[in-house]
Structure 1
């Protein structure tokens, strides 16, 4: 219980042992209170997280200072359509945009993803060494989500550069400067689509009318920022975690390199075992209970998705990475649950599969550089800080 009271998902010192810590908290009490970050309720159990995610009438997706709100903190007062709304309003937005994220739409992006991967890797081959986070996993996803939005090739390149600069900023001043340029860039694209809609995803967002009105500029900017973050940060960090898993387990790497079916199973097990979205928030909207704990309106919840996927009450061996894990019930929560379940999961699967396939083909003997210390990250997103590797030059 003491661990729960002092837990903060934003504390960098917990990253390496996050799931050991969350496991101890979960086994003691799957719904606990923490005094960190202004106070919140930490939810670590499978049943409790799934209940909170599915009960939009009691738990709102709009949260001040936790989860997605922390990704675009400079716009915390603005409510992003779809991402931070619930029930009927959310459902209308989701229906308007879901055609851009179907399995068929995701499959239509595969050729482009492969081309970007090959071009990026081709530039690396002769170097013999690189940080795969900076040089690969963070290069591909922003270009892909830019294409899904409907941006031109030059606009995608601009988006990619500035999104990476924003989330790699070393100081608050730098982040604010890049963030302002980024927001202004998006605002220009929004105004262009409002004047001349083109049928792409961004046009659909700009021209949509929900509850009798279109979203205003600030709502659209925040919504687009969250959409780009969801398409970029989660996929980039999931791919980085996947690469580290394959580096640490050579036999598994050999198997997935030779068998596309094994690679698909690897991606799905990775999302269960180390979900890129580590934690999201909810706000209590009515007097209620969760896991036996009484809750009041305004209480903030932090849902620790990876902890749910290791809950011993549901998964006998949840702390073990298994390629042969059954994909029936219980369903893991790595893609979320309820009405806010990841809209882009089909695209993410395509990206991860192609990014890993092309990497394993282009750099078949890559390995960690001597003396390299790999540091995991944990917070809203789970990932790896850097992956310095080397390979035989060709």
Structure 2
């Protein structure tokens, strides 16, 4: 029996349901994949993806990070992930101040408080890991840092979910996506206006006060649209990553109970477990870049002016980079290859340390809350999202 033709569609139901089967075929059969109908390329092998992430002079971020944005004639919103140097460098150096090791450590008490709060409310007999726990707490952390009042923090999460949702086959934004983006943008823009009148000890107020070099080298302040774009991005990235990673972690550990037992026996393995989860079921599946010139990667040559999917989630399971790459093992040798779970190169995740810390705290407390548990696999619900994978519902029963 011959295999069906290899087709990668970033919003097909088959891809939403199980991206890893698609990746395995692409790495083997078409490591430099070209889609004639949609006119894009995709890289799935680790050496190709890592090389492309590092080559920002050939692979531009300035047109957006998904296929619909890159193909659009309109400029993407003003945001750090849609910038190339030197603009990116100036903005990154400014935003890095919010994510220094000291700043992250200062958030730990808040993270512990929120994790304990949501687990204290959970019903061990009827616990949905995402809806009751990993959905609510990360967005509280990042929106507190930004300066969002408490009554709007969970609303931010719903805007994000609605904005990223894709129907099967849908590449470009639909009316629901657009409305979520508009509602979110209007809210954050209003919040920026408030902070200009009444500064607080929060990220928005610090961005208002900050200065960066302008095109002519003179220092300038950020405008309201730029600050709105950055806070919207931070809210989304800061919430989605941990929400999806923790939900996926519970599913993966249910399938690999011997790995969960390793953590029960030795909590010092938690940081290594977070790294392996980022490799094995990292929430961010890909980023799309745009080639500014003809460029050659190990698997071949890509023409100028093309959208290119950099499939980090595929690269992280590449058996040429990681021994038994399709195997989940928290004790694996992490020096074999670069883990691309939180990006690589100049656009690596700004809040990576925060995401790692939140995920580690969540695992630590889940080990106490449910040392033995069962996942109701029939109740699992995957998300259908642009470039993000994970679950919206992970129902579990805590065993005595």
TM (normalized to structure 1)?
Answer: 0.87
Q: Verify: 1:145 aligned to 2:142, yes or no.
A: yes
Aligned to 2:186: 184
Residues 256-335 of structure 1 mapped to structure 2, 5 A cutoff: 256-291=263-298, 293-335=300-342
Residues 203-218 of structure 1 mapped to structure 2, 5 A cutoff: 203-212=205-214, 213-218=220-225
> Contact between 1:68 and 1:226, CA under 8 Å: does it hold in 2?
no
Which sits farther off after the overlay, 160-169 or 318-327? 160-169
Cα 1:289–1:3 shift into 2, 3 Å: farther
Post-superposition offset of 1:81: 3.1
Aligned residue for 1:298, secondary structure, equals: coil
Aligned to 2:217: none
Q: Verify: 1:50 aligned to 2:50, yes or no.
A: yes
Aligned residue for 2:148, secondary structure, equals: coil
> Contact between 2:63 and 2:76, CA under 8 Å: does it hold in 1?
no
Cα 1:373–1:85 shift into 2, 3 Å: closer
Cα 1:276–1:4 shift into 2, 3 Å: farther
Q: Distance in 2 between matches of 1:323 and 1:131?
A: 24
> Contact between 1:79 and 1:85, CA under 8 Å: does it hold in 2?
no
Aligned to 1:115: 113
Cα 1:319–1:194 shift into 2, 3 Å: same
Give unpaired runs (5+ residues) of structure 1: none
Aligned residue for 1:87, secondary structure, equals: coil
Which sits farther off after the overlay, 148-157 or 261-270? 148-157
Encode CA deviations 1:290-336: one digit per residue, 9 max, x unaligned: 33533333211111001112223222321111121123242222221
Aligned to 1:360: 367
Encode CA deviations 1:360-382: one digit per residue, 9 max, x unaligned: 32233332238445547675012
> Contact between 1:121 and 1:136, CA under 8 Å: does it hold in 2?
yes
Residues 32-111 of structure 1 mapped to structure 2, 5 A cutoff: 32-35=33-36, 38-64=38-64, 66=66, 69=69, 77-111=75-109
Post-superposition offset of 1:215: 3.7
Encode CA deviations 1:153-173: one digit per residue, 9 max, x unaligned: 344355346545655799955
Find 2:248's aligned residue among 241, 245, 250. Answer: 241
Cα 1:163–1:306 shift into 2, 3 Å: closer
Q: Distance in 1 between matches of 2:366 and 2:179?
A: 34
Q: Distance in 2 between matches of 1:208 and 1:68?
A: 32
Q: Distance in 1 between matches of 2:161 and 2:19?
A: 25
Q: Distance in 2 between matches of 1:337 and 1:105?
A: 22
Aligned residue for 1:15, secondary structure, equals: helix
Cα 1:359–1:48 shift into 2, 3 Å: same
Q: Verify: 1:23 aligned to 2:24, yes or no.
A: yes
> Contact between 1:64 and 1:76, CA under 8 Å: does it hold in 2?
no
> Contact between 2:65 and 2:82, CA under 8 Å: does it hold in 1?
no
Q: Distance in 1 between matches of 2:304 and 2:87?
A: 20
| Corresponding residue pairs, total | 388
Cα 1:76–1:135 shift into 2, 3 Å: farther
Post-superposition offset of 1:277: 0.8
Aligned residue for 1:19, secondary structure, equals: helix
Aligned residue for 2:247, secondary structure, equals: helix
Post-superposition offset of 1:33: 0.8
Give unpaired runs (5+ residues) of structure 2: 168-172, 215-219
> Contact between 2:64 and 2:82, CA under 8 Å: does it hold in 1?
no
Q: Distance in 1 between matches of 2:72 and 2:296?
A: 32
TM (normalized to structure 2)?
Answer: 0.86
Aligned residue for 1:328, secondary structure, equals: coil
Aligned to 1:135: 132
Q: Distance in 1 between matches of 2:360 and 2:68?
A: 25
Which sits farther off after the overlay, 305-314 or 216-225? 216-225
Post-superposition offset of 1:211: 3.6
Aligned CA-pair RMSD: 3.0
